[in-house]
Amino acid sequence: MRRILFFLTALVLFCASCRFMGFRRIKGNGHLSTEERHISHADHIVISGSFDVQLTQGAVTTLKLEADDNLLQHIATDEEGGTLHIRPRKRNTNFQTDHAMTVYITTPKIERVAIEGSGSVIGKSKFAGGERLTLSIGGSGDIDLEVNTPEVKSNIAGSGTIILRGETQNETIGINGSGNFFADALKAENATVSIAGAGDVKLFADATLNVNIAGSGSVLYKGNPSVKQKVIGGGDIRKID
């Protein structure tokens, strides 16, 4: 009996602390709806939360939301300092829904995509142009893009996945954790890889490949680059067909 009372007391205190800290859950009503919103730029995007973002390259910048109609008002698409932030309107909000919360964006160019959490970004067309593309995931998000740009920088902190196709001159990959980077269909001249942990990398490089692994990560590469490597731990570097 004492154990039951202790458990119930702990549960009540936990729920009260969540309420005090401002955590709240909003449940979708199951009625999908769309909403178009005006934005000026979308070349720098930061996603915070479980949103699915679909990117298309086009001459005019547009944004459309699709979600349960009672959730739309709680989703913010704010422009701050040249960056488009997609996130819950109030912090510590958890959306409970059986449908994906999808954001459709058309933009002339993309220079930065950052995911904070478990969101996803999928390119619906090839993005060409620009001087540099910077990609980052903090958490378990996913990015899947086809690009043609001189420089690509990617960083994964956690268990996220980045998939890239297309062409670039120089690519830099950093993984801290157990993330995955698959870019053997991205034709690069030079590649630099740094893994701390158990991350896995698959890439193409045809001129130079510099690899540093601390842990049990692996780098599988295509092409015929000159390879410089430093491995501490059980890391693996191999050429594949």
Beta bridge partners of 117: 139
What is d(CA 125, CA 196) in angstroms, rounded to the nearest whole number?
32
**Per-residue DSSP letter, 101:** -
Give tens-digit pLDDT for 160-217. 999 999 999 999 999 999 999 999 999 999 999 999 999 999 999 999 999 999 999 9
Asked whether 189 and 206 are in contact (CB, 8 A), the reply is yes
- Residues shown for the chain: 241
Asked whether 144 and 126 are in contact (CB, 8 A), the reply is no
Pairing state between β 44-48 and 83-88: parallel
Give tens-digit pLDDT for 26-65. 999 999 999 999 999 999 999 999 999 999 999 999 999 9
Query: In the structure, what pLDDT confidence band is assigned to residue 10 with cuts at 50, 70 and 90?
Result: very low
Which residue from 105, 95, 87, 89 is spatially nearest to 30, judged by alpha carbons? 95
Fold for the domain defined by 126-241: Pectate Lyase C-like (2.160.20)
For 217, the 3-state DSSP assignment is coil
Which residue from 164, 171, 118, 160 is spatially nearest to 136, judged by alpha carbons? 160
Structural domain spans, the chain: 126-241
**Predicted pLDDT of residue 241:** 86
What is d(CA 154, CA 162) in angstroms, rounded to the nearest whole number?
8
**Predicted pLDDT of residue 22:** 60
1 pLDDT more than 90: no
For 118, the 3-state DSSP assignment is coil
Residue 51 φ then ψ, to 5° = -105, 140
Secondary structure of 17-37 as H, E, C letters: HHHHCCCEEEECCCCEEEEEE
Neighbouring residues of 224: CB distance < 8 A, sequence distance ≥ 6: 206
What is d(CA 178, CA 231) in angstroms, rounded to the nearest whole number?
16
Give tens-digit pLDDT for 72-110. 999 999 999 999 999 999 999 999 999 999 999 999 999
What is d(CA 164, CA 168) in angstroms, rounded to the nearest whole number?
10
What is d(CA 19, CA 160) in angstroms, rounded to the nearest whole number?
30
Cβ neighbours, 10 Å, residue 37? 13
